[in-house]
C-alpha cells in the first residue's frame, strides 16, 4: 500500500480497504472529490498494489489540454490528419497498452471524445484521429473528477452511459474539513518531508500552531495543507513553527472567540446560523446545491434562510 496516503479517520480506513480490494482486478474505477483531496495519489496506490505495477502508467489531465487537442492526445493521430500533424503520433491508450491509463478531470472531456472513449471501454479498440487502422489495446482505466457528474448528465455535458461504464467502483475522497482526525498527522508528515528537503532537521509545530492548523477549514484540502507546511518550513528561523510562520488566512478566525461580539455580547443563534451558512457557501464557491447537501437540508430551506437570494 502507498505509504503517502496518511490518515487514521474512518473515512480513510474505508477508502484504503476499497483500494486494496479493487487493486487485484481490472475493474474500472472512478475517483471523485474536491480539488486537492488526493485523487491522483489514490490512483497510484491502486496501480502500485495491482498486477499491472511496473507496466506503463500513463496520466493525462483532461482540463489542461484544449478540447480540440485532447482527442489526439488520448487516441493519437495520423500524419496530415489536421493542421500541425506533421507525423504520426501514438496516443495515451497505445502508450498505456498492458498497463493503466489515468484520466484526471474527466468531467472536462467533450461529448465527441466521450463517445470515442466509450467505444474503447466496450470494445477494447479504436482508430487514431484521421486513421483507418483499428488498434486493439489491453488497458485498465482509472478516471477522476471534481465535478458532480450527475449534474453534468442533467445539463447534457456528460454521457450517462459513459458514467456507468466508468463508475463500476466509485471511490469518493471527502474534503479535509470533514476529516479533522487526519489534519495533524498529514501536517506532521509534510513537516518531516520538507524538513528533510530543506535540511532543517528536528522541526516541530508549537502548540498554538497545532491549534490553528487543526481548526482551519482547509478549502484547498491536502494540497493547500502541503503548500502551507512547505512555506512555514522555508520561512521559519528556528526549529519550531509558530503562528508567525503561518499565513494570515489561517489565523483570521480565533475559534475560542468566534461567538463573542465584544462588550459582553454574544451571537444569537440566528446570527451564528447565518455566519455558518455563509462559511459553507464560501467553501463550495457559492454552489447552493452543494451547500444544502453539506448542511443536510433541503435546497428550498437553504434559499429561505438566505432570504431567497
The model's pLDDT over 162-200, given as tens digits with 9 standing for 90+, comes to 999 999 999 999 999 899 889 999 999 999 999 999 999
Residue 306, pLDDT > 70, answer yes
For residue 295, give the C-alpha cell: 448542511
> What integer pLDDT is reported at residue 266 of this predicted model?
63
Categorize the per-residue pLDDT at 1 as very low, low, confident or very high, splitting at 50, 70 and 90: very low
Residue 142 phi, psi dihedral angles, 5° rounding: -125, 130
Of the CA atoms within 13 Å of residue 80, those in its CB half-sphere come to 0
The model's pLDDT over 50-61, given as tens digits with 9 standing for 90+, comes to 999 999 999 999
Categorize the per-residue pLDDT at 308 as very low, low, confident or very high, splitting at 50, 70 and 90: low
**Is there a contact between 184 and 46 (Cβ–Cβ < 8 Å)?**
no
Report the C-alpha gap between 73 and 113 in whole angstroms. 11
**CA torsion 284→288→290→293, rounded to 10°?**
130
Beta strand ranges found along the chain (DSSP E): 29-33, 57-61, 100-104, 125-126, 135-136, 140-145, 169-173, 204-205, 240-241, 260-262, 265-266
**C-alpha distances in angstroms, 34 versus 38, 144, 148?**
9, 10, 10
Looking at per-residue pLDDT, the higher value among 89 and 253 belongs to 89
| Domains of the chain, start order | 10-174 (3.40.50.300), 177-258 (1.10.8.60), 262-305 (1.10.10.60)
Of the CA atoms within 13 Å of residue 168, those in its CB half-sphere come to 14
For residue 72, give the C-alpha cell: 489526439
Report the C-alpha gap between 43 and 32 in whole angstroms. 11
What's this model's pTM, rounded to 2 decimal places?
A: 0.78
* % of the chain with per-residue pLDDT over 90: 63
**C-alpha distances in angstroms, 67 versus 16, 102, 269?**
33, 17, 48
> What integer pLDDT is reported at residue 60 of this predicted model?
96
**Is there a contact between 36 and 221 (Cβ–Cβ < 8 Å)?**
yes
Categorize the per-residue pLDDT at 2 as very low, low, confident or very high, splitting at 50, 70 and 90: very low
What is the average pLDDT across 101-118? Answer: 96
Q: To 10 degrees, what angle do helices 180-197 and 221-235 make?
A: 40
Question: To the nearest whole number, what is the mean pLDDT of the chain?
Answer: 89
Amino acid at each position: 500500500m502507498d505509504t503517502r496516503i496518511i490518515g487514521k479517520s474512518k473515512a480513510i480506513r474505508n477508502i484504503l480497504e476499497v483500494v486494496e480490494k479493487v487493486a487485484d482486478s481490472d475493474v474500472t474505477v472512478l475517483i471523485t472529490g474536491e480539488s486537492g483531496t488526493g485523487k491522483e495519489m489514490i490512483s497510484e496506490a491502486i496501480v502500485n498494489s495491482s498486477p499491472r505495477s511496473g507496466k506503463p502508467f500513463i496520466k493525462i489531465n483532461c482540463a489542461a489540454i484544449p478540447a480540440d487537442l485532447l482527442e489526439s492526445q488520448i487516441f493519437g493521430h495520423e500524419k496530415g490528419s489536421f493542421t500541425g500533424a506533421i507525423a504520426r503520433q501514438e496516443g495515451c491508450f497505445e502508450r498505456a497498452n498492458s498497463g493503466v491509463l489515468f484520466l484526471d478531470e474527466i468531467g472536462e472531456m467533450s461529448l465527441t471524445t466521450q463517445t470515442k472513449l466509450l467505444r474503447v471501454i466496450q470494445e477494447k479498440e479504436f482508430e487514431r484521429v484521421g486513421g483507418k487502422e483499428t488498434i486493439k489495446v489491453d488497458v485498465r482505466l482509472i478516471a477522476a473528477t471534481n465535478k458532480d457528474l450527475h449534474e453534468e448528465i442533467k445539463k447534457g455535458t456528460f454521457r450517462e452511459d459513459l458514467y456507468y461504464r466508468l463508475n463500476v467502483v466509485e471511490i469518493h475522497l471527502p474534503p479535509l474539513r470533514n476529516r479533522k482526525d487526519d489534519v495533524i498527522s498529514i501536517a506532521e508528515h509534510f513537516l518531516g518531508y520538507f524538513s528533510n528537503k530543506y535540511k532543517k532537521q528536528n522541526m516541530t509545530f508549537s502548540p498554538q500552531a497545532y491549534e490553528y492548523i487543526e481548526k482551519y477549514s482547509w478549502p484547498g484540502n491536502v494540497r493547500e495543507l502541503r503548500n502551507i507546511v512547505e512555506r512555514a518550513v522555508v520561512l521559519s528561523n528556528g526549529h519550531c513553527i509558530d503562528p508567525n510562520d503561518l499565513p494570515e488566512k489561517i489565523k483570521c478566525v480565533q475559534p475560542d472567540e468566534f461567538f463573542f461580539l465584544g462588550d459582553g455580547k454574544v451571537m444569537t443563534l440566528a446570527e451564528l446560523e447565518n455566519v455558518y451558512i455563509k462559511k459553507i457557501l464560501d467553501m463550495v464557491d457559492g454552489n447552493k446545491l452543494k451547500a444544502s447537501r453539506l448542511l443536510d437540508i433541503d435546497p428550498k430551506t437553504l434559499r429561505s434562510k438566505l432570504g431567497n437570494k
